[in-house]
Amino acid sequence: MRSDIEKTLLNKITDISSLKETITAWQKNNNKVVFTNGVFDLLHIGHITYLAKAAELGDKLIIGLNADSSVKRIKGESRPVNDQNSRAMLLAALFFVDAIVVFEEDTPLNLISTLLPDILVKGADYAIENIVGGKEVIANGGEVKTINFVEGYSSTSIIQRIKGKTI
């Protein structure tokens, strides 16, 4: 039997069609919906800081989470370290995260084009004009923003340190 906490976490993990309905209801209630995406393989302070800042930009935070198959294509066969269900549950445990949706593609373009959040957020290492889904969000009246990373934190660098290598 699942605990109430586990049920609450699992309820945050959803599919694209259910999430579209939820977003529509949120937006009808004048909630600003923020969307970001990523792998979030080894959750660290850089992720937490980035996601907390993203959440502060609106009323509801949605995370598009790369599926395991997508991560392997992007990061290599040795990734992800944690499977998509584990990564989704960790993200769901963050109080400021409202929904997680896993996507199989290499980019979240289809997801963003379907969900049409009010604010699309990526790390400041991206130029706004190059952010996948940015044109679609802007065309729908939304905004695209970037957030600075916390220096020195990345899943890749943590994995390298564990292996005894330096980056």
CB 41 within 8 A of CB 80: yes
Domains defined for the chain, CATH in brackets:
4-162 (3.40.50.620)
Kindly state the tokens that stand for 42.
Answer: 């080894």
Q: How far apart are CA 19 and CA 101, in angstroms?
A: 8
Higher pLDDT, 160 or 37: 37
Using DSSP bridges, classify how beta strands 119-123 and 99-103 pair: parallel, antiparallel or unpaired: unpaired
pLDDT in tens, 38-97: 999 888 898 999 999 999 999 999 999 999 999 999 999 988 999 999 999 999 999 999
Helix (H, G, I), strand (E, B) or coil at 141: coil
Residue 160 pLDDT > 70: no
Using DSSP bridges, classify how beta strands 33-38 and 119-123 pair: parallel, antiparallel or unpaired: parallel
Distances 29 to 22, 24, 25, 26, 62 between C-alpha atoms, Å: 11, 9, 6, 5, 16
What pTM, to 2 d.p., does this model score? 0.90
Residues linked to residue 100 through DSSP beta bridges, in sequence order:
13, 63
Using the 8-state DSSP alphabet, how is residue 57 labeled? T
Residues linked to residue 14 through DSSP beta bridges, in sequence order:
101
Kindly state the tokens that stand for 17.
Answer: 């069609």
Residue 155 pLDDT > 70: no
Place of tokens 């800042």: 53
Q: How far apart are CA 66 and CA 77, in angstroms?
A: 14
Residue 164 has a pLDDT of 78
Considering the chain, what percentage of its residues have pLDDT values greater than 70? 90
Radius of gyration from C-alpha coordinates of the chain: 16
User: Helices (H) and strands (E) in the chain — how many of each?
Assistant: 8, 6
Helix (H, G, I), strand (E, B) or coil at 100: strand
